Each structure stands twice: as structure tokens, then as C-alpha cells.
Amino acid sequence: MDASNVDQAAYRGKHFTIPAFSKRGGIRFHGSAKSNIIQVDRSHPVIATLNQPFDLKHFKAARRPFSMGKLPPELTAALGDPALSMPRTLDLPVKFPGSDYRLPGKLALVEPILRRAANLEALINPCIDEYYCYLTVDGGWVEVGLLQREAPCHVDGFQGARWIPKVRGNHSYTVSNAVPTGYYVQPFDFDRLDEAKHNFFWEMNRQVALSNSEFEWTPEDGEMTLMDCYCVHRGKPTSIRVWRTFVRISFEVRIFDRLGNAHNPLFAYDWPMVKRDIEDLNLVAFDETSDPSLRVFPHQRPDGTAHEGRNKTQPNLRPRGASAVTDGNKE
């Protein structure tokens, strides 16, 4: 089957296109520590605490992703070329515990990026055989003032109340050709929050807004980074219309069985896919007096009612020099 054949999945007003990949033309390889070209700083917090169980205490120290430098310019340019677009792919398993890496041919453009991650993992991660690796590839035009992937401040791989005991934390490699992700390199204090009750992502919004986004750090176009589940981040709006391809390579010990995730025919597996959203947890804001834009989901207006169409609410993170509140209510 060709990747242009797609399944559609939709729930809670969210629409997903699930690409159908072929076994034919699949690319297989192993990570190789000897082939790693990245200079490693083993004292970097993301690398020093790799493989530790998820622990909220790590939010208390400002945490910057580990930079792996820039991709070759021609590869960054290819990611920005709509003629080379790849099927939109969410959390496709490309490695199982103990397996090699297996990449569908339609995603061949990503191979050198996946190899960079795989080779570095082979060097720095003694527990690599316990992990799945999931690949997200999301390419598309981003319009002025809008985000490709709308979300509050968040981390990837947060382990909330459902996860007892906690397991090894997520770490993820990301890169985009344009409009890089913003990271908030500041301490976060969640001591008074209850993970069964409070929405931690809304609280991240609030603490970033309290500091007027002063500690935002943004990598360069084409700069690949390694973050972990304590690196708070958010997509940023673009000032020019641009074709953006975002690539994320996530290492996780857990199964990602969320409805909407892509299936890899290069592995034999059959996971029942589950509708799962943070909305289902009915969490509330820790500070219910904060700016309403900081404590709603992007698909809600600041008053909590649903947006129509594709409008989204952006949290007002109060970056210096910005004009008043953005309520995103443009319809």
C-alpha cells in the first residue's frame, strides 16, 4: 500500500491522518557508538540523569536541552522543501526493546537524523535495549502568527497519577528546519500541586508568564537537540509563512498506543489503540485566578467554550515587548 492511502481517525473534534506504510523499501540499521559524531558532555543534566525514573524534583533546576549542533545545510533545506514532504506521522514505533531501527521507505529523508540519534544513544545509553523509539514527522505550511502544533507549555513524557510506580523518563531528539521550539530554562516549583488533581501544563504556563518568558531559549533552524521529560517547551508562532518539518525521535519504555499514532509494518505487533487525552483526566488549574488563556486547552476559548473551526487559544506568556493579551478568539 502506498503512503497516500490513509486512515482517518477523529475524536473530540481532533482529526488525525494515519499514513499507511509499506514493508517494501524499509530501511534497517543498528545504532553505532563508533559512528557517533556528536561531542558528548556527560555532565549535562539530560545525559547525567538519563534512565532515572520520572521524578518531579528534576523540575527544580533550570534544564536546557543538550545541543547536538546543526544538521548539514542541505538536509535542513530538504526539510523545508514542500516538494519533498513526507506523510504526517505521529509516534511511529521505529525500534522495539532489543530490536534494530526500522524506517519505512517513505520516511527515508529522516534516516540521517534517526542515525544521529541512534548512534548517540548507542554511546550514552547503557539501557537502550529497554526502550522503544517513536518517530514523529510533521510537515506543513505554517501561517503568520499561528503554530504548527498548538499546545500549552508542556514536557514530552510527563508521568502523572496514572503511572505508579514511575518508570524511566522519556528523552527525545528534535529538530525543525524553521520556527524552532521555544524552551523555558527556569526552575519550576510544583510542591503544592497534586498530580491527581492539577493540570501541570497549565501551571507551567503560569510560571513562565510570571517570569515574562524571560528564560526562553530557542535553538537555531536545523539545530538538533536532546531534551528530557523536564525540559519545558512550546511551539512558537512564525513571523513569515514557511514550510516547516518537525522531527521528533522519542525514547520511551512505555507503549504509545494512542489512537492516531502510526503503525509500522516492519514490526509484527497489534496494539489495541486507545482514545486518550489529558482532557479525560478532568484536571483543574492550581491557580484559578491566573490569566484565563493560561488555563484552557488550545481548542477552547479563554472562557472555556469550544472554538469554532481551526481557531486556537495561545497562552499569554507575557513575552517582553508583546502587546496585551492574546485571546486567540479571532472567529
Residues near Fe ion (CB under 5 A) are 156
Using CA atoms, how far apart are residues 194 and 205, in angstroms rounded to an integer?
Answer: 17
- Measured from the CB atom, the residue of 150 and 156 that comes closer to Fe ion is 156
In whole angstroms, the minimum distance from the beta carbon of 54 to Fe ion comes to 16
Residue closer to Fe ion, measured from CB, 119 or 181: 181
Residue closer to Fe ion (CB basis): 156 or 221: 156
Shortest reach from residue 174's CB to Fe ion, in Å: 8
Cross-strand pairs, 27 = 103
Minimum distance from residue 179 beta carbon to Fe ion (Å)? 14
User: Are the C-beta atoms of 259 and 274 separated by less than 8 Å?
Assistant: yes
Q: Pick between residue 121 and residue 156 the one whose CB is nearest to Fe ion.
A: 156
Residue with cell 503554530: 147
Three-state DSSP string of 12-65: CCEEEEEECCCCCCCEEECCCHHHCCCCCCCCCHHHHCCCCECCHHHHHCCCCC
| CB nearer Fe ion, residue 21 or residue 66 | 66
CB of 148 or CB of 177, closer to Fe ion: 148
Q: Compute and round to an integer the Cα radius of gyration of the chain.
A: 19
Quickly count: other Cβ atoms within 10 Å of residue 53's Cβ.
12
Q: How far is the CB of 239 from Fe ion (least distance, A)?
A: 21
Considering the complex, state which of residue 156 and residue 203 has its C-beta at the smaller distance from Fe ion.
156
Q: How far is the CB of 199 from Fe ion (least distance, A)?
A: 16
- Taking the complex as a whole, the smallest distance from the CB of residue 90 to Fe ion amounts, in Å, to 12
Shortest distance, CB of residue 152 to Fe ion, whole angstroms? 10
**Structural contact between residues 182 and 218, judged by C-beta atoms closer than 8 angstroms:** yes
3 vs 25: CA distance, rounded Å: 12
Q: Which residues contact 127 (CB under 8 A, 6 or more apart)?
A: 51, 168
- Give the nearest residue (CB) to Fe ion: 156
Provide the residue type at 305 as one letter.
Answer: T
Q: Contact 247/136 with Cβ under 8 angstroms?
A: yes
